[in-house]
């Protein structure tokens, strides 16, 4: 599943290759890819055709392109295996091509390719007066730590006010978005915090350190993924190894902690896994 830095790579690619272009034709090759469009593929195509795409935006793992004056947007979610490709029209169709946008300039097409089709596209109303034309369905999703408008001070206050545990809070999209399971484990390892630490027990400096570490981990992954910025092939897939390198905790069960050499442990956690160092990240004492 793509994590935020990979989605940001796609956003930058879209900003570079499709912003400012006008849609000439929309082809929906599989209805499941536009299932979030209430009235179906016909409505999706009708709402998109003739519009000019604005500057690509992202919130967490959601991407969107404002249409025309920003009263609506084309929202995209990559799901598990979705890709947005900018392709020469002469390039043969991909096996799992689901949606194609042709442009009035006759140049490269935008293709949505998705093998498992958990992702999808939809045209949605944007929040009124919002310069970023945020789709209404994303209004409840918090900004992510790579967003220039993310409010650090408000986040640390809100985090400490929650009656929950720290990893749950990091994965709560209404508090902070874009921190998936991998980055949560990495940020907690760097901060020497156990995943079940109650948020109310975090001091303000500790909360600030945790945020800084989450941001650092994500920026590091972004820097590695950034090599594809200049590529014509705007691409994301769950197989890519952008962050398989240089992980300190995630996926390292039984391997020595880079700080203290204690073997990293894996624990079952909310239908997922949590990787942590049992020495650096002590289990919190019961309240
Ligand atoms: Zn350790």
147 lies in some domain: no
Query: Any long-range contacts for 161-164 (C-beta under 8 Å, 24+ apart)?
Result: 161/200, 162/199, 162/200, 163/198, 163/199, 163/200, 164/198, 164/199
For residues 94-101, average pLDDT: 95
Reported as a single tens digit per residue, the pLDDT across 167-211 is 999 999 999 998 888 889 999 999 999 999 999 999 999 999 999
State the distance from the centre of ligand 1 to the C-alpha of 208, rounded, in angstroms. 21
For residues 105-127, average pLDDT: 92
Same domain assignment for residues 176 and 126:
no
Could you list the residue range(s) of the whole structural domain that residue 229 is in?
152-276
Q: Which two tokens stand for residue 120?
A: 């999808």
Q: pTM here?
A: 0.79
143 lies in some domain: no
Same domain assignment for residues 218 and 100:
no
Same domain assignment for residues 156 and 92:
no
284 lies in some domain: no
Catalytic residue ranges: 2-3, 61, 272
Reported as a single tens digit per residue, the pLDDT across 213-256 is 999 988 887 777 643 333 333 444 333 444 455 789 998 999 99
287 pLDDT band, cuts 50/70/90, is low
For a pLDDT cut of 70, what percent of the chain falls above it? 91
The residue out of 90, 110, 138 marking a domain boundary is: 138
**CATH number assigned to the domain comprising residue 165:** 1.10.8.50
State the distance from the centre of ligand 1 to the C-alpha of 211, rounded, in angstroms. 20
Same domain assignment for residues 40 and 113:
yes
State the distance from the centre of ligand 1 to the C-alpha of 190, rounded, in angstroms. 10
Reported as a single tens digit per residue, the pLDDT across 20-58 is 999 999 999 999 999 999 999 999 999 999 999 999 999
The residue out of 93, 111, 138 marking a domain boundary is: 138
- Residue 219 has, within 13 A of its CA and on its CB side, a CA count of 10
- The Cα–Cα gap between 172 and 168 comes to 6
């Amino acid at each position: 599943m793509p994590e935020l830095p990979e989605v940001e790579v796609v956003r930058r690619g879209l900003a570079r290759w499709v912003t400012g272009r006008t849609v000439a034709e929309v082809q929906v090759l599989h209805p499941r890819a536009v299932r979030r469009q209430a009235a179906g593929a016909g409505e999706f195509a009708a709402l998109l055709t003739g519009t000019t795409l604005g500057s690509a935006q992202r919130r967490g793992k959601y991407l969107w392109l404002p249409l025309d004056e920003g009263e609506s947007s084309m929202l995209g979610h990559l799901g598990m295996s979705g890709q947005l490709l900018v392709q020469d029209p002469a390039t043969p169709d991909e096996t799992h091509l689901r949606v194609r946008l042709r442009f009035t300039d006759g140049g490269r097409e935008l293709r949505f390719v998705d093998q498992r089709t958990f992702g999808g596209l939809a045209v949605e109303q944007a929040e009124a007066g919002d310069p970023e034309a945020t789709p209404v369905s994303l209004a409840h999703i918090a900004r992510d730590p790579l967003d220039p408008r993310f409010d650090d001070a408000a986040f640390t206050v809100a985090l400490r006010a929650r009656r929950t545990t720290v990893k749950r809070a990091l994965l709560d999209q209404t508090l902070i978005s874009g921190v998936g399971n991998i980055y949560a484990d990495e940020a907690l390892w760097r901060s020497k915090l156990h995943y079940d630490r109650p948020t109310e027990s975090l001091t303000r400096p500790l909360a600030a350190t945790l945020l800084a570490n989450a941001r650092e981990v994500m920026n590091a992954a972004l820097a590695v993924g950034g090599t594809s910025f200049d590529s014509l092939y705007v691409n994301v897939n769950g197989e890519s190894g952008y962050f398989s390198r240089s992980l300190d905790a995630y996926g390292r069960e039984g391997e020595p902690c880079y700080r203290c050499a204690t073997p990293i442990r894996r624990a079952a956690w909310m239908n997922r896994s949590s990787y942590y160092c049992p020495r650096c990240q002590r289990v919190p004492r019961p309240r």
